[in-house]
Structure 1
């Protein structure tokens, strides 16, 4: 397997497809998944002549199941390690959900010339959890429920999430794909329960406001209007107001996992922005 070793000794698995002299598009997965969640988009962009890269976040997928560093600062540092090891320049970074937070934190700190554009899909910024500063955020007991379900029966929890709100399969008339449900479960169960537990705090409690303000490159926000996991009113509608050069595109009726359920809709919009 292709891996990059971080400064604290963690081996991060990554995929790197396509011409090495083509513009790179790097994909960042959501919780608790892996780089496999981007298979459709990686094949699509490679067919369009791009170099495509995706990695398994530490503790996820095929990367080391380390019990430390499951926080956004370390995730961003890990991204930088892969970018530097592969010497990637002018990269378009595409992040989904937790991966969107990872992208925002990395891109705000990246060295000049490393980042060309940013795409945040159903992403957690600016901050998910309810607080005095974010009174309309998601209540803390929702995330406590995630922790309890993960601790009690992670295997069942990782069936319930994709069978329900993640893909909107709990909606009346939804076209349920058991393949997507099983693939979500497969990816999740390959990772570390400790990393998944710790990452709940990372994606729900991290405040990305300053990161969004610091972004100077073009930023595209894509978000389903029926996102039950990262509600659009608490994320994209707020985040677009914080960036300097942002575009927001929303999709009526689509879910948190919209790029998996509707790649035929999302991929052309991604390609138009990347070009």
Structure 2
């Protein structure tokens, strides 16, 4: 018999009753939710090659790099922006996996589910980690796709490792050629802007990321329809990055000069950028990169923000697919 004189017993019983009601309610709603989430085109039965969908590799310096590997077919790799992780590519990865491609994305060292080393938090380290993933999985004829900082990672990979394993490249709202202002780059952003980012991280990184999200996705512009969920997930992903790693990455994405890397591109390259990018201004990045990369095709999205892989997901996916199939 239940001892009603014991408040803990009463609490547990009420909890069990509530959980039972909640479970029943969820069960009743599952068919409708499943129907709403069913993709228009089902994934191939061999989506995970019979292997784990998620795994890690260990680099030469002992850093564990998390990656996910979906689908079968021609290979596309994805390098994410700061301070996010590979989940930021899910909208592109699912779409391309459904359209006959094998898609691989990793969390940059210090970000997401990868380990947080005190070294290698620079573009050479990031490029070598990408190379380690490509070599560990023995990927060939790869299309390298990079967003923001990830675009710099792609550029430095080609600069350091060449295009022996590369078929094509895509730079989306990418940081190259170089972001910081200097005598050689008078159109760049002043170093004080990046110092402010570092100061914001040290003072209160959680609030800093919340304040950054609206600019990242253009939610601070009139008429924006960016969801709260999109802003929330930006904060969630950002908070998974180590403070030291995120701090050091600011120097990597802002001060690294990719000019010579871009000149080494000898594969078909697509450049995508939003014309209202408040994070990486288009005139000092994509416009210049497209000139430096021989034969590059550039597409600009009017009024679009930095986070176009989310805000303009369908358009980005369509442009990616067309480029991949060309």
Band the TM-score falls in, shorter-chain normalisation: over 0.9
Equivalent residue, structure 1, for 2:17: none
Q: In the aligned structure 1, how far is the partner of 2:299 from the partner of 2:102? A: 25
Using the TM superposition, give the Cα deviation of residue 112 of structure 1 relative to its aligned residue in structure 2, in angstroms.
Answer: 4.8
Q: In the aligned structure 2, how far is the partner of 1:48 from the partner of 1:128? A: 35
Gaps of 5+ in 1: none
Distance 1:60 1:76, change over 3 A: same
Using the TM superposition, give the Cα deviation of residue 173 of structure 1 relative to its aligned residue in structure 2, in angstroms.
Answer: 1.3
Q: TM-score, normalised by structure 2?
A: 0.82
Equivalent residue, structure 1, for 2:12: none
Using the TM superposition, give the Cα deviation of residue 176 of structure 1 relative to its aligned residue in structure 2, in angstroms.
Answer: 2.6
Q: What are the superposed Cα offsets for residues 77-103 of structure 1, whole Å, 9 maximum, x if unpaired?
A: 111111000000000011000000000
Equivalent residue, structure 2, for 1:3: 56
Q: In the aligned structure 2, how far is the partner of 1:28 from the partner of 1:57? A: 8
**More helix per residue: 1 or 2?**
2
Equivalent residue, structure 1, for 2:294: 244
Equivalent residue, structure 2, for 1:12: 65
Equivalent residue, structure 1, for 2:270: 220
Q: In the aligned structure 2, how far is the partner of 1:156 from the partner of 1:232? A: 26
Q: In the aligned structure 2, how far is the partner of 1:156 from the partner of 1:72? A: 27
Q: In the aligned structure 2, how far is the partner of 1:229 from the partner of 1:176? A: 17
Q: Does 1:140 align with 2:191?
A: yes
Q: Does 1:110 align with 2:161?
A: yes
May I ask how many residue pairs the two structures share in their alignment? 272
Q: What are the superposed Cα offsets for residues 215-253 of structure 1, whole Å, 9 maximum, x if unpaired?
A: 100111000000010000100111111111201100000
Q: In the aligned structure 1, how far is the partner of 2:277 from the partner of 2:248? A: 23
Q: What are the superposed Cα offsets for residues 183-202 of structure 1, whole Å, 9 maximum, x if unpaired?
A: 11111111101000000000
Gaps of 5+ in 2: 1-53
Kindly indicate whether the alpha-carbon contact (under 8 Å) linking 2:84 and 2:238 is maintained by their aligned counterparts in 1: yes
Radius of gyration: which is bigger?
A: 2
Q: Does 1:150 align with 2:201?
A: yes
Using the TM superposition, give the Cα deviation of residue 109 of structure 1 relative to its aligned residue in structure 2, in angstroms.
Answer: 2.9
Equivalent residue, structure 1, for 2:122: 71
Using the TM superposition, give the Cα deviation of residue 111 of structure 1 relative to its aligned residue in structure 2, in angstroms.
Answer: 4.8
Q: What are the superposed Cα offsets for residues 13-42 of structure 1, whole Å, 9 maximum, x if unpaired?
A: 0000112xx111001000000000001100
Q: In the aligned structure 1, how far is the partner of 2:101 from the partner of 2:315? A: 19
Kindly indicate whether the alpha-carbon contact (under 8 Å) linking 2:71 and 2:100 is maintained by their aligned counterparts in 1: yes
Q: Which has the higher contact order (CA 8 A, sep 6+)?
A: 1
Aligned runs of 1:140-179 on 2, under 5 Å?
140-162=191-213, 164-179=214-229
Q: TM-score, normalised by structure 1?
A: 0.97
